[in-house]
Amino acid sequence: MSHNSIHWFRKGLRLHDNPALLAALKDCRHIYPLFLLDPWYPNNTHIGINRWRFLIEALKDLDSSLKKLNSRLFVVSGPPAEVLPKLFEKWKITRLTFEVDTEPYSQSRDKEVMKLAEENGVEVIPKISHTLYNIDRIIEENNGKPPMTYVRFLSVVNAIGSPKKPVPAPTKEDMKGVSTPFFEDHEEEFRIPTLEDLGLDTSFLGPNLFPGGEQEALRRLDEHMERTTWVCKFEKPQTSPNSIIPSTTVLSPYIRFGCLSARTFWWRLADVYRGKQHSEPPVSLHGQLLWREFFYTTAVGIPNFNRMEGNRHCVQVDWDNNPEHLAAWREARTGFPFIDAIMTQLCQEGWIHHLARHAVACFLTRGDLWISWEEGQKVFEELLLDADWSLNAGNWQWLSASAFFHQFFRVYSPIAFRKKTDKYGDYIKKYLPVLKKFPVEYIYEPWKAPRSIQERAGCVVGKDYPRPIVEHEVVHKKNIQRMKAAYAKRSPEGKDDKTTTKGIKRKAPSIMDMFEKKAKR
Ligand code: FAD
C-alpha cells in the first residue's frame, strides 16, 4: 500500500537521526512535513522573544533542507486535536509519524491525537530519538522506579548497553516515488510566521549569538569535535561560568529543539575518544549527556516533577512570598554584581553557563532570598534558549536542595564564588557597564568602596547601582536553619532519595563531591 504520510515535527527539528521521518517515507506516495503552532504549548508558560527567534530560524532551516529534497514544511496554527483531524481528511492521510516526547503535556496531547488518528483510520508511528535511551526501559530495569542517584543511573544504563546509533538523514534516493503536494500559494497558507506575525516586539531582541537550525547545530558540533584535546580533557568543574567566550559547548539550545540529536552528539564524542585517554562521567561530555538522560528519567518517573506540592521526592519548604525580591533577582537589581551580571546575560543572550545557573539558583532559593525554586524555574522557562521542562525542573530541585542534592549547608557566596576565574571582573564589567570604572578590589562588592572612589568611578551605590538587597552573611545562616527544619519534617519517601533501590543502601555521592574530588587531582 502507498501511504499519504504526515511527519509531525515538534521537537526533533532536523533531518539527521530522525527515525520517525524515515518511517513516514517508507511505502509512501505523498509526504506532508508539518509543524503546528500549538497555542497550548508549552503549557501555561511564557516564551521569551529570543527563544521564538531561535524556533523560527530552526523552522526556516528545516524548510530549506526539505526544499533540497523537493519537499516543503507546512506550518499550521491551532490545537493539534482540532487541526490534525481536518488535515487527515483534507490530505487523505493514512499514516502519522512523530518523535516521542516524554513531557506530561506532550504525553496527554499525543494520547488524544492517537485516539483521533485511530478514529480516522490513520496508522500512528511514534519513534524514540529525543533521548539516548528509551526512558521507560531505564525505569523498568530499575524495578519500575527512576534511579534517584547518578551512580545508580549509570549502573542501570551500563547494563542496558550503549545508546543506539543515529540513523542517516533521508536522501534524494529515499524520496524516489515520494512527493510533497505543495502549490504556488504555499507561502500564503503554510508559511513560517515572522516575529511580527506573532505580535512580538522585536525591540526586546538580544544579540543573535546562537542562531537556530540543524545546519548551524551540525556546524557547531563539527567545530567542537575538531578540538580533540579539549573534548578528551573536558571536565565540567574546570570550565568557567564567567569567561566572556562560553567555556562549554552551548549545544543545549540545539539539543533542546532537536536541531541536534543527542545520539549523534554521543557517537561523535565516542569517535573522538576512541584510542585516546579521556575524561569520564560525571564530568566528561558523555557525562553531561547522561545528566540530561538522568533528569529525563526522573521527570518521567516522578509525578508532579515540576512542582513542590504533590512531588513526593521534593522536600516541602515554607518558601517566602516576596515579589519585590523576586523582581529584583529577575531584573538584575540585587546589588550583587556577580548575580546581576548573570541575570543580565540570561535576559539579553538566553544562555548562561551551568555554574552561573548554580549561583543564581542558589541565591534565589536556599542561599539568600528564600524564594521557591518554582519561581526561578518559571523565569528560566521564559528566558533560556534551552529551556527544557525536565532539565529545568530537575536542576532547580537540585540547586535548591529540594531533591537529589541534600548538602543544604553548602551555600555559594554571591561575592567570593567566582573571583578566582575572573579576578578583574571583566565578566561583570561587560554585562554591568555601570560598574566598568570600578577598581578591581571593589568590583564584586561595590558598596564597600569609599564614597570618593564610587564618585570617581561614576557610579554611586544606592543611586546608580543598587545596594545589596540582603546581607548574605546574615541571611544564609538563617536559611540553613530553616532548611534544617524542613529536612527534619521530611517524609520517609523523601529520605529514601539518598539511597538506591533494589535494597542496596549506598550513600549518594553529590555532584559537588565529585567535582571537588576531580578538582583536587
Ligand atoms: P555542556 O557542558 O557542553 O554539555 C553538553 C550537553 O549536556 C548540554 O547541552 C545539555 O544537553 C547536557 N547537560 C549538561 N549539563 C546538564 C545538566 N546539569 N543537566 C542536564 N543536562 C545537562 N539545561 C537545559 O538544557 N535546559 C534547561 O532548562 C536547564 N535548566 C537548568 C536550570 C538550573 C537551575 C541549572 C543549574 C541547570 C540547568 N540546565 C538546563 C543544565 C545545564 O546548565 C545546561 O544544560 C548547560 O549549561 C548547557 O550548556 P552547554 O550546552 O554548553 O553544556
Query: pLDDT per residue over 405-425, tens digit each?
Result: 999 999 999 998 778 788 899
User: Which domains, and CATH codes, for the chain?
Assistant: 1-129 (3.40.50.620), 131-165+214-301 (1.25.40.80), 323-486 (1.10.579.10)
| Per-residue pLDDT, 380 | 97
Please identify which residue in the block is written with the cell numbers 526522573. Answer: 298
Q: How far apart are CA 395 and CA 386, in angstroms?
A: 13
| Per-residue pLDDT, 496 | 56
| Per-residue pLDDT, 506 | 34
Residue 262's SS3 state is helix
Query: What average pLDDT does the chain have?
Result: 92
Band of residue 494 on the pLDDT scale cut at 50, 70, 90: low
CA 502 to chain centre: 30
Stretch 464-474: mean pLDDT, rounded? Answer: 98
**Nearest-atom index, ligand 1, CA of 384:** 28
CA 133 to chain centre: 17
Q: Answer yes or no: is the C-beta of 248 below 6 A from any ligand 1 atom.
A: yes
Please identify which residue in the block is written with the cell numbers 516522578. Answer: 302
Q: For 109-113, which contacts have Cβ atoms below 8 Å and span 24 or more sequence positions?
A: 109/38, 109/40, 109/41, 109/80, 109/81, 112/80, 112/81, 113/80, 113/81, 113/84
What percent of the chain is helix, strand and coil (3-state, nearest 5)?
A: 50, 5, 45
Stretch 487-498: mean pLDDT, rounded? Answer: 71
Please identify which residue in the block is written with the cell numbers 545508546. Answer: 163
Distance 354 CA to ligand 1 centre (A): 6
Q: How far apart are CA 325 and CA 374, in angstroms?
A: 15
Q: Answer yes or no: is the C-beta of 286 below 6 A from any ligand 1 atom.
A: no
DSSP letters of 381-443?
Answer: HHH-TT--HHHHHHHHHHHTTSSS---TT----TTTTTGGG-TT-HHHHHH-GGGTTS-GGGT
CA distances from 221 to 163, 227, 255, 350, 356 (A): 18, 10, 11, 19, 23
Residue 264, annotated as binding a ligand:
no
Residue 217 dihedral angles phi and psi, to the nearest 5°: -65, -45
Distance 253 CA to ligand 1 centre (A): 9
Q: Could you count the other beta carbons within 10 Å of the beta carbon of residue 86?
A: 11
Band of residue 238 on the pLDDT scale cut at 50, 70, 90: confident
From 516, 501, 518, 294, select the one nearest 407 (Cα to Cα): 516
Q: Could you count the other beta carbons within 10 Å of the beta carbon of residue 61?
A: 22
| Per-residue pLDDT, 57 | 98
CA 261 to chain centre: 14
Band of residue 495 on the pLDDT scale cut at 50, 70, 90: low
Q: How far apart are CA 421 and CA 353, in angstroms?
A: 13
CA 217 to chain centre: 15
Residue 242's SS3 state is coil
Q: Answer yes or no: is the C-beta of 249 below 6 A from any ligand 1 atom.
A: yes
Distance 341 CA to ligand 1 centre (A): 19
Reduced 3-state DSSP string for 426-486: HHHHHHCHHHCCCCHHHCCCHHHCCHHHHHHCCCCECCCECCCCCCHHHHHHHHHHHHHHH
Stretch 360-372: mean pLDDT, rounded? Answer: 98
* Burial class of residue 8, CB neighbours in 10 A (0-12, 13-18, 19+): buried
Residue 426, annotated as binding a ligand:
no
DSSP state of 313: T
Greatest Cα pair distance, the chain, in angstroms, is: 83
| Per-residue pLDDT, 507 | 38
Band of residue 175 on the pLDDT scale cut at 50, 70, 90: very high
- Residue that wins the pLDDT comparison between 448 and 46: 448
Strand order in the sheet with 123-127: 74-77, 28-37, 3-9, 95-99, 123-127
Q: Give the residues across from 76 on adjacent strands.
A: 36
Residue 22, annotated as binding a ligand:
no
Q: Answer yes or no: is the C-beta of 399 below 6 A from any ligand 1 atom.
A: yes
pTM of the predicted model as reported, rounded to 2 decimal places: 0.94
Stretch 440-458: mean pLDDT, rounded? Answer: 96
Band of residue 148 on the pLDDT scale cut at 50, 70, 90: very high
From 409, 416, 414, select the one nearest 477 (Cα to Cα): 409
Band of residue 242 on the pLDDT scale cut at 50, 70, 90: confident
Distance 252 CA to ligand 1 centre (A): 6
DSSP state of 42: S
Instruction: Say if residue 466's pLDDT is above 50.
Output: yes
Q: Answer yes or no: is the C-beta of 380 below 6 A from any ligand 1 atom.
A: yes
